Amino acid sequence: MKFKLKKVVILGTMALVITINPSFSSYLTTLAYAAHPSKQSSLSNDAERPEDELNGLLGASSDQEVYDALLEGQSLTDIAELNGQDADRVIQLQIAQLQEQLQQRLKEGSLTREAYELQLQELPELVSNSAQTRYTILS
């Protein structure tokens, strides 16, 4: 299967943003609710957040640790390996999470069956490439 470089970069970036965005938005939510302790009880949930599961597989202690490592140019697989974790498990988790999102979009009707099947087929390679890509944002 041949990919155009631009398509790989765009889709890889999307996968990375999907991975980081929930972590970053939860970080902002935590900051917003820190000023209002009375609202914190509605935020407490014993269920594991998807980013907590990712952090565990990466061997990271916090969302911020992952975010900082990514900004410094490490890939997700680099982070996992530096912390003695299995990078393949990180990739499998991301694939599973994105498959769930695709299924939800199909169910809601925002994705056709044909588009769903095509994206599902491309997902493993795109996620694997994205997880191994180092994005140098800070110099």
DSSP structure class, residue 61: S
Six-digit token string for 135: 């994005």
**pTM score:** 0.61
pLDDT at 55 over 60: yes
Nearest to 120 by CA among 91, 98, 105, 104: 98
Determine the average pLDDT of the residues in 39-50: 46
The span from the CA of 40 to the CA of 33, in Å, is 6
| Predicted local distance difference test score (pLDDT) of residue 2 | 47
pLDDT tens digits, one per residue of 91-128 = 999 999 999 999 999 999 999 999 999 999 999 999 99
State yes or no: pLDDT of 44 exceeds 50. no
